[in-house]
Structure 1
C-alpha cells in the first residue's frame, strides 16, 4: 500500500465512531506501555501530551515572577488534564474495536509517516469539533443542591465538562497546527498573480479566525460550566442546606460575570474574521521579492489589549466577605479559569503571525490621533455623582441591585454618551445650581470612571475591536454616529475602553514590551520545545497597579461632594439668616418715607429680586424639588441678571445726580413715580431680550446649552462693566472737583469722611458694582473643587446681613429708623430735636394762615 493510503487508513481508524473516542483510547494504551513505536511516540507527544501553556515572563532587564494567579491557573490546568475522574463512555472505542486496530496500524508507521498522520489528525479533529461532534453543546446549566450533593451525578457532569475542555483545547491546538502544516505558498511573478494569492490568503485567514471563534464559543460554555462543581469540591461541600442555597446563587452570579468577560473574547474573534477582507498585500519596494501585509487598525492585533487577568479577587473579595465568607475563593477560581483561557487564546492569535513571518512583513495601520489625556468635557453631574458614589461606596456584585438602580445606570450610560457626543468642552456656570447640573471632567478620567470594576459598565462585554471601531467612528465621524456598532446604551462603555487603552497615556495601565516576553507554544507537531519572543502588552502588576488605581481613585473623589452633608445645618442657618435680613432691609425701605425716593425704590426692587431668587433656588427647588433642575437653573440665572440690571439703573441714577447737581429729594412725588416707571421699562427690556434668547437656545436643543449660558454670562458681564464705568465716572468727577477747589484756594478743615465711612462706602461700591457676582461665578468655574465652590456658596448667604448693615445701619438711615420706631411705641414721647422742629414749623404755618383784623380793617 502507498504511504498516502496508509495514512488515510490509520486516520480513518482513529476517526471511527467519533475521532475523540478512539484517540483517547489509544492515548490510554500508550500511557500504560513502556515501549513505543515511532507512530505511537509521535502521537503521544503531539496529541496526548498536556495541551495547556506554561507562561513565563521575562523583561529586557530581569526575570519577573508570574503573579500568584498564573501559578494557580497552571495548577488548575494540571488538575483538569490529569483529572482522576472516570472518562465518559467511549462510544464504540472498546478495547477490541477500532482502538485495537488503530494501535496495530500505528506500530507499522515510520517517522515520516507518523508526522504526516499528525498533520491529518490535526486538521480532522478541529473540523469535527467545530461541527459539534467532539463535545455536546451544553446549555447554560443551572446547578442546584440535588446535582451538587449527589456525588455520582456531579462527578459525571464534571467529567463531561473536563473532557470537553480537553477536547476543545486539543481541537484548538489542532486548528493552529493545521494552519502551520498547510500554509499558503507565495510563489508569484506579476501583480495579478500576487493579488490572486493574496485573496486565497485572506480567505484562509478569515476561515482560521472564524474557526477559532467557533471553538471559543464552545470553550466559553464548558470553561464557565467547570466553575461551580470545582468550587463546590474546593469549598462548598461542608455547608448546610441553607448556606448551600445562598452559596449556589452566589456562584451562579460569579459564573455570569465570567461569561460576560469571555463573551467579549468571542465578539473579538468574530470581528477579526470579518476584518481580514480589508487586508492588503503588496510588494516591498525596499526589498524586491518581499511581501508586505498591510493590516487595518481593526485587526487581531487588538486582542493583546484584552486584560491578562480579572480583578474580581482584588476588587470584590473584601466587599463580599460579609455576605459570603468564601467570596475570595470564588473570585480566585474565576480568575484562574480566565487566565487559563486568556493565555491559550492569546497565543493562538500570536502564533498565526509566526507561521508567515518568513514570507510576509506585517505593517499595521496606526491611529493618527493625538493624546487625549488633557481633554475635558462638560457632562451631567448626576451621572458623575453616580460614578463617584460607586467608587466611594462600592457594592458587592453578588447582591441583586434594585431595579431602580439598574435603570439609573442605563440612563446614566445614555446620558453620558449624549454628553460625549455633544463634545462641549466647557459650559459657563452662572449659578450654584448650574454648578450642580454640569461639571467639567477630564475625558480620560471619565472613561476610567465608567469602565473600572466598580463602574456602570460591569454587564457590558469587553470587545476590544468593537471598542476601537466605535471610538474611531466617534473621533473620525463626529457628525455621523450611524457607524457605531454598539447601541446607545453601551456606546459610552465601548468608546471609553478604547480611549483609555489607546489615547490616554497618563491613564493607561498597560505597558508595552518589545521582544522581552517569552511564551512556550505547544503547537509544534514535534516533541521539541518551541520558544519565541513576541511583542506583548501586559497589565502592571501588584504594588504598581494598586498605586495606579489609588491615584485614579483620588482624582475621581474630588468630584465627590457637590453638597457637603455635614455642613447642611450650617447652610440652612445661613439661608434663613440671609432671607430674614433681606426682608428686613426691604421692610425698612418701604417703611421710611425718606427712603421712598427714586434711588430707594430702585434698591427696593433690587432687594425684592434677590429675595425671590433665594426663595426660588434655595427654598422651593432645594427643599421642595420643583421645578426640574434645568428650569431652576434658568430661573436662577435670569434673576441674577435682573439684579445686576437693577444695579445698572441705580448706578446710572447716581451718576446723573452728581453730574446735574440735583439731589433725589428735590424731585416731586409725581416726578419720582414717572421716572421710576421709565427706569422699570429700561430694566425689563434688555432683561427680557437676554432671557428669551437664553430660553430659546436651551429649549431648542441640548447642543445649544453652552450658547444659552454664554448669552446669560455675557449679559451679566456687560451689566457689571456698566456699573464699573458709572462708578468710575463718579469717582473721576469727585477728584476733578476736589482739584478745582484746591486751585481756587478753597480750604476746609473738615474731612470728607471718617475711616468708618470710607469702609462703608467701599463695601457699598463693591455691592453696587456687582463685582461680588462676578467673583462668585468665577469661583464656580473652578470645576473639580467641589468643597471650595460649596464654601463660596455659603459665603454668598451672608449678603443679606451685609446689605442690612451697609444700607440701614448708617448715620442717616439708622437715626430715622430709631426715631420712627420710638414714635411707634410711644407717640407722646417726641425726641428733643424733632419737638423743636415741629413747634417751629407749626408756628410758621399758623402765622402764614392767620389774617390780622387790623389789617383787614385798614385795607
Structure 2
C-alpha cells in the first residue's frame, strides 16, 4: 500500500469489494464489520439499510454515535460527552481525500485489482489480518506523528496556522490511536485461542499459549494507551482556545493559558492511572489458571486472580473536575466551568474506549469457557476505628471546609505539608492502633480516634491530599491486600511511602466500606452507532451520576468530617487565656497561704502544698511554655503533662493515706513535733517518687523506643492514674466506714448529742474537698478526653478544669479555720499594735507550760 492510498481508504475499498461478492453478502458484511458468528460474541449487528454497499460505506464513517437501549434519546452523561468530543476530533483529524484519479489509476486502483483476484478464503483471511496490521503499525508508533510537546503562549495560540496544524496533527494521532485500539480488540477477538478439553499436558500447553496471547493483548493496549495519554492532553489547550479563549485580551490570555496548563496536568494525572492499570493487567495474566469445570465435566474454567482486568470497571466514568471545581474557581477564572467541562469530555472519550477493550475480551472468552474470579475476604470495615495524628486530620478537615481552587499555585510549604501528612497517616495506618488512651488535653490535640473508612474518604476525596497521585486501581487493590493480609510485612507494597495512604484508601473505599460506597451497579444496554450499523453489548456499568441521593451522601460525609474541625475553638481563645490566668493566680495564692501560715505547715499541709506546686508546674509547662513558646515538641509535652498528672494523683494518695492513718491511730497532725513532721514528710516524698519514677520510666522507654509502643505507654500512664484514684477511693471509703461504725457504737451506748455533724455549707465544702482529694475530677476529665468525636465538649471540659484553682482556694483557704487566721495576719501588717483576741502576749511560764504539754503528748498517746 503506497502513500497515495492510505490504509483507511484501502480498508474501505476492501469492504466494498467484499460486499459485492457472490454468495451471502450479509455474511461478508458481518466479516467486514468485525464479527464472526462462530465467535458467539455478545456484539450484534442491526442493519438499518437493505443495501449492503451502503451499509459498508457508512461503516467507515466516524465518529461512533453512542446511546443506551433503555432511552436512546437520553444517553448517559459520560457517553454523551464522548460522542460530542469524538465529533470534534474526527472533524479535525480527517485526513485529506486521495488525489484525483487515485481510485482509478493510482495506488488504490492497484490494490483493488489485487483484492478482486482474492478467493473467498483469502478475502476472509485478509479481513482478519487487516485489524492486526493496523494495530501493530500503531503500537510501533509508526501511525502517529512524533509528539512535540507544544509550549503554548499568547503568540502561538493566536497564530491560526500553527494552532490548526498542531490541533489537526494531535487530533489525527488520537483518531489513529482510537482506530488501532478498536482494531486490536477485533484482532484479538478473531485470533483468540480456542480452549478445548483434552488431556492434561495438551491442556497446559493450550493454557500457556492462552496466557501469552492475552498478556500480549494487554501489553499492546497499554502501549496504545500510553500513546493516547500523551496525545490526548495536548488537545486541551488549542481546543479550549477555539471554544472560549480567542476573545480575551493578551493579559487575560496569559493567565488563561496558565490555568489551562494546570487543567492539562490534572487530566494527565487521571490518564496515567489507566496506563498503570493496563500494565499491571498484562503482568497478572501469568497467574491465570485453566482447569476442568467441576460442575460441568468436559467444560473448562479460567480462574483469574483478584488483580485482573475486571477491576478496570471500578475506574470512575468521569473525573470530579467539573462538579467540584467549577464554582470554586469561578472567581479566579470566569471560564473555569468550560475548562473543566472540556477536560471531562476528553476523559469520558478516553474512558469509554478503554472500558470496551476490557469488556469485549471478557465477553469473548466468557462464551466458550467459565470464568471464575478470585474472591477476596470482603469483611466490612465501615465501623473500624484508627488512631491518627490530629495535625493531619486538621489538614484534611481544613481542605474540605475551606477548599482551594486547584488552578492556584500552592505554596511550597503547603505541598511539603501534604506530603508529610501522607507519610504520617500511612505510619499511623500501619500501626493499626484502634484507640490510644488520652491522658491530657494536649494528648487530645495530638491523636484522634477516627473511623477508618471516613479517614480514607477524607484523604482521597477531590479536595483531599491525593490530588496529584494517579488513580491506579489494580495497584490500589494490591496494596490494600498487602496491608490487610500481610500486616507484619509491608515490603509487598508497590506504592512508595508517600503515596501508599492514597493507594490503600481508594481500595478500602471500594472493597471494604459498604456504608461509605456511593457506587451503584446498573445493568444497561449500550449502543455504539457506527454509521448505519448499531452495535450493542449488554454489560454491567458502574454509574456514578450525581443524583440527589449521591449528593446527600456526599453532604453526610462532609458533615461527619467537619466534627473534627475544632480541636480548639478560636472564638473561645480569649476566654481560655483568661481562665488560665485566673487558675494560675489562685493556685499561687493557695500555695502562698500554705507557706505563710505556720498553722498550715504540718504534714497534711506540706503534702497539699506539694500537690499545688505540681499542678502549678503542669499548667506552666503545658498551657504557658508549650502554647506560647512551642517547646518542647508535642509528644514530649504530652509526656510531661501526663507525668505531672500522675504525680498529682500520687500526692493525693499520700494525703488520703495520712488522713486514714490519723483517724485510725487517733493522732491529729497538730500533735506532731516539727522534727517528726519533717521525718514523716521525707518518708512520704520517697513513697510518692518511687512508684511515680517507675511508671514514668516505663512510659518514656516504651514511647521513645518505638512509635509502635505509643499505645502501650499511654496505657501504662492511664493504668497508674486509675490505680492511684482507686487507692484514694479505698482510703476515703475506710474513713466513711469508720465514721459510720463509731456512730453506730455511740448509739448502742445511748450517747446522744444534739449537735449536728456539720452545717449545709460545711457539708458542701467537704463534698467538694472529697471530690478533689479523691481525684474524681481527673478521671472525669480523662473520660471526656476519650470522646474523640466531640471536640467542642472536650474543649469545654478543658475550660472547666481551669476553674480548679479558684475552687481550691475557696475550699482550703476560705473556711472557718484558715480564713480568720489569714485575716488576722494580714491585719497585723497594717497595724502591728492591734493584737486580735486569742493572740495576746503571754508570760514565759505559760509558754514553757505549753511547750511541756506538747512534748509529753506523744508519750501519753503511745501509752494509751
Structure 1 length-normalised TM = 0.91
| CA deviation string 1:89-127 (max 9, x = no partner) | 979996653234335555777887655433221111000
Which residue of 2 is the match for residue 48 of structure 1?
A: 60
C-alpha distance in structure 2 between counterparts of 1:349 and 1:384, whole Å: 38
SS at match of 2:453: helix
Which residue of 1 is the match for residue 694 of structure 2?
A: 689
Matched, 1:336 2:336: no
| CA deviation string 1:541-585 (max 9, x = no partner) | 332221111111111111111000000000000000000000000
Residues 46, 118 of structure 1: 8 Å contact kept:
no
Which residue of 2 is the match for residue 471 of structure 1?
A: 480
What displacement does 1:540 show? 4.5
Which residue of 2 is the match for residue 393 of structure 1?
A: 402
Which residue of 1 is the match for residue 464 of structure 2?
A: 455
Residues 66, 75 of structure 2: 8 Å contact kept:
no
C-alpha distance in structure 1 between counterparts of 2:88 and 2:230, whole Å: 19
Matched, 1:828 2:833: yes
Residues 70, 336 of structure 1: 8 Å contact kept:
no
Matched, 1:432 2:441: yes
Residue correspondence of structure 1 range 447-846 to structure 2 within 5 A:
447-513=456-522, 516-521=523-528, 528-835=533-840, 838-839=841-842, 844=846
In structure 2, the CA distance between the partners of 1:745 and 1:522, relative to structure 1 (3 Å rule), is same
From 408, 413, 423, the counterpart of 1:414: 423
| CA deviation string 1:787-828 (max 9, x = no partner) | 110010011000000000100111101111111111111111
Q: Which range is displaced more, 311-320 or 263-272?
A: 311-320
What displacement does 1:679 show? 0.6
What displacement does 1:144 show? 1.8
In structure 2, the CA distance between the partners of 1:846 and 1:710, relative to structure 1 (3 Å rule), is closer
In structure 2, the CA distance between the partners of 1:64 and 1:751, relative to structure 1 (3 Å rule), is farther
SS at match of 2:6: helix
SS at match of 1:397: coil
SS at match of 1:235: helix
In structure 2, the CA distance between the partners of 1:361 and 1:848, relative to structure 1 (3 Å rule), is closer
C-alpha distance in structure 2 between counterparts of 1:649 and 1:791, whole Å: 30
Q: Which range is displaced more, 637-646 or 183-192?
A: 183-192
SS at match of 1:428: coil
From 86, 90, 105, the counterpart of 1:81: 90
In structure 2, the CA distance between the partners of 1:180 and 1:501, relative to structure 1 (3 Å rule), is same
Residues 30, 44 of structure 1: 8 Å contact kept:
no
Which residue of 2 is the match for residue 7 of structure 1?
A: none
What displacement does 1:531 show? 2.2
SS at match of 1:483: coil
Residues 695, 708 of structure 1: 8 Å contact kept:
yes
Matched, 1:293 2:305: no
What displacement does 1:50 show? 2.2
Which residue of 1 is the match for residue 293 of structure 2?
A: 284
Residues 42, 115 of structure 1: 8 Å contact kept:
no
C-alpha distance in structure 2 between counterparts of 1:17 and 1:754, whole Å: 112
SS at match of 1:517: strand
Matched, 1:23 2:7: yes
What displacement does 1:527 show? 7.3
Q: Which range is displaced more, 220-229 or 802-811?
A: 220-229
Residues 72, 336 of structure 1: 8 Å contact kept:
yes
Residue correspondence of structure 1 range 131-146 to structure 2 within 5 A:
131-146=140-155
C-alpha distance in structure 2 between counterparts of 1:381 and 1:142, whole Å: 42
Residues 385, 559 of structure 1: 8 Å contact kept:
yes
What displacement does 1:721 show? 0.3
In structure 2, the CA distance between the partners of 1:93 and 1:445, relative to structure 1 (3 Å rule), is farther
Q: Which range is displaced more, 64-73 or 212-221?
A: 64-73
C-alpha distance in structure 2 between counterparts of 1:174 and 1:718, whole Å: 75
Q: Which range is displaced more, 441-450 or 85-94?
A: 85-94
Residues 263, 407 of structure 2: 8 Å contact kept:
yes
C-alpha distance in structure 2 between counterparts of 1:280 and 1:125, whole Å: 31
In structure 2, the CA distance between the partners of 1:202 and 1:51, relative to structure 1 (3 Å rule), is farther
Unmatched segments (≥5 aa) in structure 1: 1-12, 850-859
Which residue of 1 is the match for residue 48 of structure 2?
A: none
SS at match of 2:251: helix
SS at match of 1:133: coil
Residues 94, 172 of structure 2: 8 Å contact kept:
no
C-alpha distance in structure 2 between counterparts of 1:459 and 1:94, whole Å: 50
C-alpha distance in structure 1 between counterparts of 2:485 and 2:571, whole Å: 46
C-alpha distance in structure 1 between counterparts of 2:512 and 2:725, whole Å: 42
Which residue of 1 is the match for residue 191 of structure 2?
A: 182
What displacement does 1:67 show? 5.0
In structure 2, the CA distance between the partners of 1:139 and 1:491, relative to structure 1 (3 Å rule), is farther
SS at match of 2:839: helix
C-alpha distance in structure 2 between counterparts of 1:387 and 1:795, whole Å: 29
What displacement does 1:635 show? 0.2
What displacement does 1:320 show? 1.1
Which residue of 2 is the match for residue 423 of structure 1?
A: 432
Q: Which range is displaced more, 542-551 or 112-121?
A: 112-121
What displacement does 1:222 show? 1.5
What displacement does 1:53 show? 5.5
Which residue of 2 is the match for residue 206 of structure 1?
A: 215
Residues 30, 36 of structure 1: 8 Å contact kept:
no
SS at match of 1:749: coil
C-alpha distance in structure 2 between counterparts of 1:170 and 1:243, whole Å: 38
C-alpha distance in structure 1 between counterparts of 2:119 and 2:546, whole Å: 49
Residues 74, 340 of structure 1: 8 Å contact kept:
yes
Which residue of 2 is the match for residue 4 of structure 1?
A: none
Structure 2 length-normalised TM = 0.91
Which residue of 2 is the match for residue 153 of structure 1?
A: 162
C-alpha distance in structure 2 between counterparts of 1:499 and 1:93, whole Å: 62
Unmatched segments (≥5 aa) in structure 2: 26-31, 33-51, 852-864
Residues 725, 774 of structure 2: 8 Å contact kept:
yes
SS at match of 2:450: strand
C-alpha distance in structure 2 between counterparts of 1:760 and 1:93, whole Å: 113
In structure 2, the CA distance between the partners of 1:179 and 1:786, relative to structure 1 (3 Å rule), is same
In structure 2, the CA distance between the partners of 1:660 and 1:139, relative to structure 1 (3 Å rule), is farther
What displacement does 1:29 show? 9.1
In structure 2, the CA distance between the partners of 1:678 and 1:457, relative to structure 1 (3 Å rule), is same
Residues 51, 173 of structure 1: 8 Å contact kept:
no
Residues 237, 260 of structure 2: 8 Å contact kept:
yes
What displacement does 1:292 show? 0.6
Which residue of 2 is the match for residue 8 of structure 1?
A: none
Number of residues of Structure 1 aligned to a counterpart in Structure 2: 821
What displacement does 1:831 show? 2.0
C-alpha distance in structure 1 between counterparts of 2:55 and 2:207, whole Å: 34
SS at match of 2:516: coil
Residues 145, 169 of structure 2: 8 Å contact kept:
no
In structure 2, the CA distance between the partners of 1:78 and 1:112, relative to structure 1 (3 Å rule), is farther
Which residue of 1 is the match for residue 322 of structure 2?
A: 313
SS at match of 2:620: helix
SS at match of 1:321: coil
C-alpha distance in structure 1 between counterparts of 2:814 and 2:94, whole Å: 97
